[in-house]
Amino acid sequence: MEIDKEGPKGVTEKGREVASARCVEYKEAIQEYLDAKKNIPCGLDLTERNEQQKKKILAVLDGSEEEWNDWKWQVRNMIRDVETLARIFPLSAEEQKQIEEVGKDVRWGVSPYYASLIDPDDPNCPIRMQSIPSIQEALDPSVVTEPETILYNSPAPCITRLYPDRLIINVTNACSMFCRHCLRRRDIGHQNIRYAKDSINEALAYIRENTEIRDVLLTGGDALMVADDYLDWILSELDAIEHVEIKRLGTRTPVVLPMRITDEFCEMLEKHGAIYLNTQFNHSKEITEPAAAAVKKLTKAGVLVGNQTVLLKGINADKHIMKKLMQDALRIRVKPYYIFHCKKLEGIRHFRAHIEDGLEIMEYLRGYTSGLAIPTYIITAPGGRGKTPVNPNYILNTNVDGQVLFRTWGGHVMKYDNER
Ligand code: SF4
């Protein structure tokens, strides 16, 4: 191959001038974000602080470094009582009382690992807000539940079916953390349950009979809260069904329990063809070295990892914070997939942003950052009617002299030839 020192031809001096002027515009367009970004912490930069908290938590729980890296130890030692919590970071007597009060109604629990990410000096730390009960949950007057999703969309045990070609098998109600914003907070109950083989066999039989099903999502709860051999069995059964083309796993473990992603688990997944794993990073502080290592193992095993963020007031309902999250996720090989609008359900009103906030975020992503960093913003339709994308409108008029009038991400209004 020959070497050309000048690069591609065809750009005139005038062309370079125009390009330089455009670059000035681009630099201006991004400056606000670059300033804001300095104040948005990423877990990759907090390793030392998190390590200190880890040591403190290990001392409180009387655990070793080896135990810390064992996901089963993490689950056994999930922090569920106020006394332990108060030994990890400061809690006033009033806060302790409130946590106990809320906990009587809806379960709470946080893995020692996730607790180590909490900034002890920040009562509004996004990690704390997602994991520790707040009195706002009890003060929420909206008594809204949504039984239709379960009532009308389960044609067989353990199955939820909302779409033509795919469905969910719920394998457990257990989670590696009880997220305070969880839509299933009422379904979690007070005990962990793994659904029995008989029920899963009925679900598998349903899939065998319905040949249009090509995509099966294992979730819960959190699909990775069951043992490797149980998942291995379900995945093997699905492998044997010819019309099932892909399998998906729904889990928050890469975020809240990254040690769950063991070498043995990844070796098991590697046997099972195309597997897509979707997780839920909601803030850049969750993008840590352990989370990055977990995702790297998964990708080495051929598993593609996506992110389903929930739009949460006080956590990420901000155009800069969300953009940083999307970019930080890509840094550790996680592809932004969805931003879910937070539903109106009992106890989570304080997390709900407006749809306008979500639209502003989408407006501020498109063009301002690479398409890879842009997920689909979703409203989940009431009554279990499925995910509906919502987007800023770029089309201004579809018939201006046979042309479409639209605006660009940067605000330029243009015509586009729409001749048939
Ligand atoms: S991991 Fe998912 S299902 Fe479990 S509590 Fe969190 S949001 Fe809910």
pLDDT, tens digit, 9 for 90 and up, residues 142-200: 666 665 666 788 999 999 999 999 999 999 999 989 999 998 777 776 778 888 999 99
Q: Give me the residues of the chain with pLDDT under 50, please.
A: none
Position 404 scores a pLDDT of 95
Question: Helix, strand, coil proportions of the chain in percent (round to 5)?
Answer: 45, 15, 40
Q: Are 256 and 226 in contact (CB under 8 A)?
A: no
The alpha carbon of 181 and the centre of ligand 1 are apart by a number of angstroms equal to 8
Ligand 1 pocket check: which of 150, 175, 226 to mutate, most ligand atoms within 8 Å of Cβ? 175
212 closest CA partner among 172, 179, 166, 154: 166
Mutation test residue for ligand 1: of 75, 181, 184, 217, the one with most atoms within 8 Å of CB: 184
> Hey, what domains does the chain have and what are their CATH numbers?
43-135 (no CATH), 148-389 (3.20.20.70), 393-420 (no CATH)
Helix (H) or strand (E) holding 310: strand 304-311
pLDDT of residue 30: 96
Residue 306 is predicted with a pLDDT of 98
Does the Cβ of 272 fall within 6 Å of ligand 1?
A: no
Distance 220 CA to ligand 1 centre (A): 8
Determine which residue's CA is closest to atom 3 belonging to ligand 1: 221
CA angle (158, 390, 255) in 5-degree steps: 55
Amino acid present at 283: H
Q: How high is the pLDDT of residue 6?
A: 82
User: What is the number of helices (H) and of strands (E) in the chain?
Assistant: 17, 12
User: Given this model, what pLDDT does residue 352 score?
Assistant: 94
Helix axes 228-239, 263-270, angle to 10 degrees: 10
Q: Can you give the pLDDT at residue 145? A: 62
For the CA of 252, the closest atom of ligand 1 is 1
pLDDT at 332: 98
Instruction: For residue 229, report the distance from its CA to the centre of ligand 1, in Å.
Output: 22
pLDDT on residue 147: 59
Nearest in space to 378 (alpha carbons), one of 113, 207, 162: 162
Sign of CA dihedral 93, 98, 103, 108: negative
Nearest CA to ligand 1 atom 8: 182
Length of the chain: 420
Cβ(257) – ligand 1 distance below 6 Å = no
